[in-house]
Amino acid sequence: MPVVPVLDSTMHYVESGGAPFVFLHGNPGSSHSWRKVLPELGGLAPDLIGMGRSGKPDIAYSFADHARYLDAWFDALDLDRVVLVGHDWGGALAFDWAARHPSRVAGIAFFETIVKPMNGSELPLPAQERVRRFRATETLEDNGFVRQAFTGGVLTPVSEQDMAAHLAPFPDAESRRPVLAWAQQMPFDGEPAELIPRIEAYDAWLGLSEVPKLLMTFSNSPTLLIGPELQAWCAQNIAALDVVAVGEAGHHAQEDRPKEIAAEIAAWAERHSLVA
């Protein structure tokens, strides 16, 4: 599997065929999160810096840090006219990259991601509790966050083999710093103050750009981030948006509905002539 130098480290990625899709995972995932979607569509799936098989430089793992390394990865591969597919923080990074590189983006498909700064009334109670818990703690003693994501954040817990693959990048406390950093950066009630303007900037782009966009929604799980209220916000504030209900799934929906996600992306991409 390919690895490329980026800044002072390296980034690993998985590739399948020559399709223009770039799949960006969330927390605490990796390219492994796309293992059942990528083969259906083709494209590239990087491991964000500090995650998966990518390097773990001595950085804070802020949103800005991730964006810098991701910029370097896109440039190292000379990627242009891509169709971004983002989940969780990967969706936020996709929006941010697209807003800063609009001529290099052909389309964006996303689900269960950070579409706007949020307040308490917009997050489901379980999500509010998770945000507060992880903001208040700095424990890195175990892999409880990762285990919970792929047992409680899905409708069907992953297999032991796949759980082992999700756990492998985080064998000790130092290796888990990116996971905790992501958890503590959820844009909630005006914090982190340095991240809110960046989200507002990509929201402005989302509201004006005629680049085709696809929001995939899900149901029947208390772990879902984008519920009816945020779905309505997206429909009102994101230009050139298609919205499709994909079915029942947890927050890590590509574990529960990989073939359905791939099928909806393929149909949307064909409607908008995004693939040859």
Mean pLDDT score, 215-222: 95
CB of 101 within 8 A of CB of 78?
no
Residues 207 and 200: their CA atoms lie apart, in Å, by: 10
Q: Please tell me what DSSP assigns to residue 123.
A: S
The class (CATH top level) of 3-271 is: alpha beta
pLDDT of 156 reads 95
> Is residue 29 scored above 90 in pLDDT?
yes
pLDDT of 100 reads 98
CB of 30 within 8 A of CB of 169?
yes
Q: Which residue has the tokens 């298609």?
A: 242
> Is residue 77 scored above 70 in pLDDT?
yes
> Is residue 139 scored above 70 in pLDDT?
no
Q: What is the pTM of this model?
A: 0.96
List, by residue number, the catalytic residues. Answer: 88, 112, 251
- For 9, what's the count of Cα atoms within 13 Å in the CB-facing half-sphere? 21
Q: Where are the alpha helices (DSSP H) in the chain?
A: 38-41, 63-76, 89-100, 125-136, 144-149, 160-167, 177-183, 196-208, 228-237, 253-256, 258-271
Mean pLDDT score, 55-77: 98
